[in-house]
Structure 1
Amino acid sequence: MRQRLILYLLLLLCLPKLSMAQAATDTTAVNKKRLLVLGSTFAVGYTSLLVSLNHAWYSEEERTDFHWFNDNKEWRQVDKVGHFWGAFHQSRAGIDMLRWAGVPEKKAILYGGLTGILLQTPIEIFDGYQSDYGASAGDIVANTVGAANLVAQELAWQEVRIMPKYSFHTTRYADRRPNVLGSNLGEQALKDYNGQTYWLSVDVGAFLKEESKYPKWLNIAVGYGAQQMVYNDPEANAAAGLDAYRQFYLSPDLNLMHFKGRSKVWNTALYVLSIIKVPAPALEYNRKNGLKLHPLYF
């Protein structure tokens, strides 16, 4: 759970720099001044965040020798998909910031693509020394796959054609364990896996010929979520009378990057909002209820 909160905080740490990254211009030489500003700002900001994290969340925890904890069976793996989503967009920000600094394209992709992994790994190391937690190999794999997915798209297509996205709606389960699933809307958006849905939004138009009449603003998104999860452990969840199940979705989506204009502020807003799935009709399938149509799904 705590990795997910940090994942969002680290993503927010990158956002103030996105406007600069989006304002990148074509260049064949590294802008050393920009690279220095970028590197020093990142180093100071991230180090401060790690120090604050260690003081706020770990200082009062019982410490042990470094150890691993297998949490792969928990939360129907929604948390792992969240790690994929977070690492993808952190690496996306890293690549665009290196582009802004004039780093050659291939190096910007390869080095910037490591951002998600570099940001997340220290959190796993911290957890590895906590008696109530432990480093999660599953989290590390999810982070790596998320970053690698972005790098693969950038190398293959020089753009993102399959965008991971996030959406959220409140659920009744948070009231049963507000200390774990959140006691208010902000906390629930971070902690209540029952209300989180993760999507892969496919830019269909990018795969078609230029002369195709398919609307370039219309994406098709496939989503994943789960329900009836109050406890992370499946056995504890079942003992509470809950039958956790997976949910799969199909929904239209807006390709927000299609609406870019001349305004840097507007383009930056679209860049940031592109991590979120726009509410739209959705078709859901799950093993308990079969197919279900949502007129508007968040």
Structure 2
Amino acid sequence: MVKSLFILSIISSSSLLAVAQDSAVVKSTQFTDSVIKYNTQPIKKLTPQQIKSRVRLVAAANIIGYGGTMIGLNAAWYANYPRSSFHFFNDNNEWLQVDKVGHMLSAYDESRGSMELWRWTGIDRKKQIWYGGLSGMAYQTVIEILDGFSAEWGFSWGDMSANVLGSAALISQELAWNDQRIKLKFSFHKNSYAPAMDLEQRANDIYGKSEWERWLKDYNAQTYWASASIKAFFPKANLPEWLSVAIGYGAEGMFGATENYATNKDGQVTFDRRDIKRYRQWYLAPDIDFSRFKTKKKGLKFLFTVLSAFKFPAPSLEFSNGSFKVNAITF
């Protein structure tokens, strides 16, 4: 999951720049009594030569950008660990599956960013969807293969399944609605751990000390959301288009992959806090879909698209440990 977010932060930030460019097509929305219909209207006619040129540019950008990213990841990550023959690894019971949801989000956002690049080329709509939609799964598959040759990890079918679901979430919505009515989102809050109980030191060891490392690694502080546009599903509702409702998933109390217990190479216990309960958290909260704000300014359009990948902080209803509670604000 950490490697997935590393790839996501680089690829998506560059891919979504296409949103700020002069797009070859734009989606216009027509509200009827029962459904919302999305039509693709040309705003700039591209010649076959222009389309071909843009396709070559995007293809080259994908190859060079992703290739360079993987070389950097290999140098920064895999080179520090011993290699092995290709093997599989079952990690489905780790981190209360928060990492699996993270894989799904990474594939979804990478696919979304790539699709916007292909939309810019002006190629056929279904090609935009399939080329872009499969990109996220392809990016993540390469990571899984590299994991398969690392002695520290292995090819995980659980991770791979989550990657497929992430790409499928984008493709299915585009084919059905020509829109992402349900967006997968991410939120993070900085956790403070008790130094006197050795929890801060344990968190530093497994999650890192810097804000960047904690953002990538601290599963206790990450929440993943499925945020649905209310107006898209209920066009008669007298509600703003940007208003959404989100269901979130997170977990707490994790100081190890499967248990809060660790030993060193000699078998000596270095951490034992099995008394701390590991538990899941479910949330229901309002949200804002910034991508549904209308603007002709390219800078704002790009900013709104980036912001639409993150859950807006808001009050929430939480279900955990068998009971409900209301949170004044959830990040």
1:109/1:151 contact within 8 Å kept? yes
Hey, what does 2:328 align to over in structure 1? 295
| 1:146 partnered with 2:157 | no
Hey, what does 1:186 align to over in structure 2? 212
Hey, what does 1:272 align to over in structure 2? 306
Hey, what does 1:23 align to over in structure 2? 23
| 1:249 partnered with 2:274 | no
- From 112, 116, 128, the equivalent of 1:108 is 128
TM-score scaled by length of structure 1: 0.93
Q: Secondary structure at the match of 2:325?
A: strand
1:4/1:190 contact within 8 Å kept? no
Alignment of 1:161-200 (within 5 A): 161-173=181-193, 175=200, 176-200=202-226
| 1:232 partnered with 2:227 | no
1:38/1:97 contact within 8 Å kept? yes
1:19/1:265 contact within 8 Å kept? yes
Q: Secondary structure at the match of 2:224?
A: strand
Distance 1:235 1:188 in 2: 18
Hey, what does 2:15 align to over in structure 1? 14
When Rg is computed on C-alpha atoms for both structures, the one with the higher figure is 2
Instruction: Measure how far apart 1:53 and its partner are.
Output: 1.6
Unaligned runs of 5+ in 1: none
Aligned length: 295
Change in Cα spacing, 1:208 to 1:64, as seen in structure 2 (3 Å) is same
**Greater strand proportion:** 2
Instruction: Measure how far apart 1:15 and its partner are.
Output: 3.7
Instruction: Measure how far apart 1:13 and its partner are.
Output: 4.2
Unaligned runs of 5+ in 2: 26-41, 194-198, 263-270
The CA RMSD measured in Å over matched residues stands at 2.0
Change in Cα spacing, 1:55 to 1:138, as seen in structure 2 (3 Å) is same
Instruction: Measure how far apart 1:6 and its partner are.
Output: 2.6
Q: List structure 1 runs of 4+ shifted beyond 6 angstroms.
A: none
What does the per-residue CA deviation read over 1:106-143, in whole Å, with 9 as the maximum and x for residues that have no partner? 11111211010111111111111111111111111101
1:29/1:104 contact within 8 Å kept? no
Deviates more, 1:245-254 or 1:168-177: 168-177
Instruction: Measure how far apart 1:101 and its partner are.
Output: 0.3
Hey, what does 1:258 align to over in structure 2? 292
What does the per-residue CA deviation read over 1:3-48, in whole Å, with 9 as the maximum and x for residues that have no partner? 334343333343444423x733325765111111111112111111
What does the per-residue CA deviation read over 1:207-238, in whole Å, with 9 as the maximum and x for residues that have no partner? 123x4312322111110000001101237389
**Greater helix proportion:** 1
Distance 2:247 2:2 in 1: 27
Distance 2:247 2:47 in 1: 40
| 1:42 partnered with 2:62 | yes
Hey, what does 1:4 align to over in structure 2? 4
Alignment of 1:203-222 (within 5 A): 203-209=229-235, 211-222=236-247
TM-score scaled by length of structure 2: 0.84
1:5/1:191 contact within 8 Å kept? no
Deviates more, 1:170-179 or 1:226-235: 170-179
Distance 1:88 1:29 in 2: 31
Distance 2:127 2:138 in 1: 16
Distance 2:321 2:215 in 1: 25
Deviates more, 1:249-258 or 1:27-36: 27-36
1:281/1:293 contact within 8 Å kept? yes
What does the per-residue CA deviation read over 1:49-73, in whole Å, with 9 as the maximum and x for residues that have no partner? 1112222222232111100111111
